[in-house]
Each structure stands twice: as C-alpha cells, then as structure tokens.
Amino acid sequence: MFAQQVAKKYSHALFDLAREKNLIDKAWEQFNSLAEYLKKDDTLLNFMAAPQVTDQKKYSLVEKVFSERLEKPFYAFLVFLVRKRRVNYLPDIIEAFDQLVREEKKIARARCTSAIPLNDEERRDVIERLQKKTSLKIELEEKIDKSIIGGMIIMLRNQIIDGSIRYSLNELKNRLMKVKVH
C-alpha cells in the first residue's frame, strides 16, 4: 500500500514536470525505456537500495548512466529520488506515470485472452468494437490460453467481458445443478 502511495505522489510530480516543460512524450519514451531495462536487470535497483553503498557512489552512478541519456529535468528527478531514498519505488512510479500519460492521451490497454491466436481481421474487429464502446484508442495485448476452449476473454480497465466457451459451459453446469429432478 505504501508503495502505491509513493508511486502516485512521485508519478504526479513527474507528470506535472513533464507537462510544464512540454516533454510528456519524451518523458513517456525515456521512462518506458528505463522500465524495460529495470525489468530485465535489477542490478541498478539493488545497488541503489544497498545500505552499504554511500550516497556519493549512488549519485556518481546515476550521473554516469543517466546524465546524457535523460532530459535534464528527468535526470534531476532521478537525483531527487536518490536523495529521498525512493529509487526502489522507480518501477512503481514509472507504471503510475504511464497510466497518467495514457489517461491524458485517451489510450487504454485491453488484454484479450483466446484459445488460439487472433487473425488480423478478428484483431481489428475487437479493437474497433472496444474503441466504439469506450471512445478511447485501444492497445490490444493478446494472450493464448487453450483452457478457455474457444471464444475470448477481454479485460479492459476494471471490466471483464468473458465470452469464453469455458465460462458458458460453467454457467450451463450451474444452471443444471439448480434444476430439481423428481
């Protein structure tokens, strides 16, 4: 819970900074790249969280790695996180920042789970229907799960649309179980 509060606070600060400097797209690109790196290799976060590493070494590393790779305000933001000892929350901050940018740009991620891969026409149809329903630009993540037998399950924001055959069979089973046979 604390991590979410920290992420929310700092992501809003980062978002406000990016908006003020008119660098939202640049921030989104740079911090998403950083998030991808952190997912692959947690060495940086482990180093920054290590109590035996001096603050000076942490600042030095951040300067060496990020001073030329990030826009100045975003580099300063990272230095601020180091000073406040909040770098370990960076993945959460970036994720919350990503959500703020998506809301600003009216972009939503939808996850579509199907038993077999969607073809291009089905993919376009799903995206078009979701865009019409939500008035948002939809980015579709696809996942294969043979256990749903057929159909698809779509998760968008806090909503689940379960059109899988497995769900239909379970519903049928539940209805049949309620039928009293004399």
Q: Which long-range contacts (CB under 8 A, 24 or more apart) does 35-41 make?
A: 35/91, 35/94, 35/95, 35/98, 38/90, 38/91, 38/94, 39/91
The number of CA neighbours under 13 Å toward the Cβ of 150 is 3
Cβ pair 151, 164 in contact under 8 A = yes
Residue 76 lies in a domain: yes
Asked if residue 84 and residue 13 are part of one domain, the reply reads yes
C-alpha distance from residue 19 to each of 7, 11, 28, 100, 104 (Å): 18, 12, 11, 11, 10
pLDDT attached to residue 138: 96
Asked if residue 58 and residue 21 are part of one domain, the reply reads yes
Residue type, 107: I
Asked if residue 119 and residue 49 are part of one domain, the reply reads no
Cβ pair 163, 152 in contact under 8 A = yes
In this prediction, residues 19-31 reach a mean pLDDT of: 95
Residue 170 lies in a domain: no
pLDDT attached to residue 106: 96
Asked if residue 59 and residue 86 are part of one domain, the reply reads yes
Asked if residue 35 and residue 117 are part of one domain, the reply reads no
Asked if residue 9 and residue 35 are part of one domain, the reply reads yes
The span from the CA of 93 to the CA of 6, in Å, is 8
pLDDT attached to residue 182: 73
The number of CA neighbours under 13 Å toward the Cβ of 28 is 13
In this prediction, residues 61-73 reach a mean pLDDT of: 93
CATH number of the domain to which 26 belongs: 1.10.520.20
Residue 160 lies in a domain: yes
The number of domains in the chain is 2
- Tokens 């209805």, located at residue: 175
Which spans in the chain are helix H? 2-20, 24-40, 43-49, 55-66, 72-83, 90-105, 120-134, 165-178
- 144: domain range? 107-165
- Encoded tokens for 174: 């539940």
Asked if residue 95 and residue 6 are part of one domain, the reply reads yes
Residue 12 lies in a domain: yes
pLDDT attached to residue 112: 96
Asked if residue 53 and residue 23 are part of one domain, the reply reads yes
Residue 2 above 80 pLDDT? yes
pLDDT attached to residue 118: 95
C-alpha distance from residue 38 to each of 10, 87, 88, 90, 97 (Å): 18, 11, 11, 9, 15
Residue 158 above 90 pLDDT? no
Cβ pair 33, 97 in contact under 8 A = no
What's this model's pTM, rounded to 2 decimal places? 0.78
Asked if residue 8 and residue 49 are part of one domain, the reply reads yes
